[in-house]
Amino acid sequence: MRLKITHETSYFYDPPAQGLVQSLRLTPSVHEGQRVSGWTISVSGGQRGAGFRDGAGDWIEGWTVRGPVQEVVVSIAGQVETRDTAGVLRGHRETVHPLVYLRPTPATRIDAALRDLAHSEQGEDGLDLAHRLAAAVARAIAYEPGVTEAHTTAAEALALGQGVCQDHAHALIACARERGLPARYVSGYLHSNAGGEPHDAAHAWAEIHVGTLGWVGFDAANACCPDDRYVRLGSGLDADDAAPVRGTTFGMGAESLDVRVQVEEMEQ
């Protein structure tokens, strides 16, 4: 599938910020399931700094904006050719050992209910267990936008029984780690949901490391493994660690933002 992606995030500061520094993880991953054929990143009024590939294989680049500034727009545009690898992440070079992803974080910390959910399923092997855990999370947390927020934890989402893709990913990560399977959070884009409806928004899912097969993606929110509708950006221990945009703003004003994403399928 050939996908065209445009992603624009506008940041507003009141009063104007004295300046800001951003670290952007907004370049698609390099692996067998996708190939980038043109990708540009720009920051209004910004100066591009150094870029590097981190131990997880993600490309990160720095930007600096000098103030005073009232609005900053981060714009991404490009095309990615994708193919279905049944969720298996092949050809992705990274140096971080998978066991690092057994470490809990505040967003994925286990509680009694999550522990019970994690041990409610048994699998013939690691891959089968991972599939069963993803299905269990999908049953336990109904997809419902607006009931959770950016800082909602996996335990809180499970208690609500509702959430969005971030909550599904966090809950699945917590359950997998409880069962001894390394798991991590993945940020990216989705062209359409399981029902074929357009999904013009950033998306998130989990990857679980299952022995010799390596990392395999699981999207509990859509009850499937990532296929050619998905574009992978980067990963981390949780949503905060894998955030596409991180930064520091200098000044005492309030910050608000507006996000617009469009994912279109192009003719081959």
- Cα distance between residue 193 and residue 183, in whole Å: 23
Q: Across residues 15-40, what is the average pLDDT?
A: 95
Q: How far is CA 177 from the centre of its chain?
A: 18
* pLDDT at 266 (0 to 100): 86
Nearest Cα to Cα of residue 9 among 261, 266, 259, 262: 259
Q: pLDDT per residue over 96-123, tens digit each?
A: 999 999 999 999 999 999 999 999 999 9
Greatest distance between any 2 Cα atoms in the chain: 59
Q: Across residues 36-65, what is the average pLDDT?
A: 96
* pLDDT at 29 (0 to 100): 96
Q: Across residues 146-169, what is the average pLDDT?
A: 97
Q: pLDDT per residue over 64-98, tens digit each?
A: 999 899 999 999 999 999 999 999 999 999 999 99
Paired tokens of 128: 């089968």
- DSSP letter for 112, please: H
User: What domains are defined for the chain?
Assistant: 2-80+244-266 (2.60.40.2250), 83-236 (3.10.620.30)
How buried is residue 58: exposed, middle or buried, by Cβ count under 10 Å (0-12/13-18/19+)?
A: buried
| Sequence-distant contacts of 53-57: CB under 8 A, at least 24 apart | 55/94, 55/95, 55/96, 56/94, 56/96, 56/234, 56/235, 56/236, 57/29, 57/30, 57/92, 57/93, 57/94, 57/95
pTM over 0.85: yes
Neighbours of 131 (CB within 10 A): 18
Nearest Cα to Cα of residue 203 among 217, 187, 185, 183: 187
* Residue 185, beta-bridge partner list: 206, 236
Q: How far is CA 34 from the centre of its chain?
A: 16
Paired tokens of 121: 């399923």
Nearest Cα to Cα of residue 154 among 230, 237, 259: 237
Which distant-in-sequence residues (6+ apart) come within 8 Å of 13 by Cβ?
69, 70, 71, 72, 249, 251, 253, 254, 255
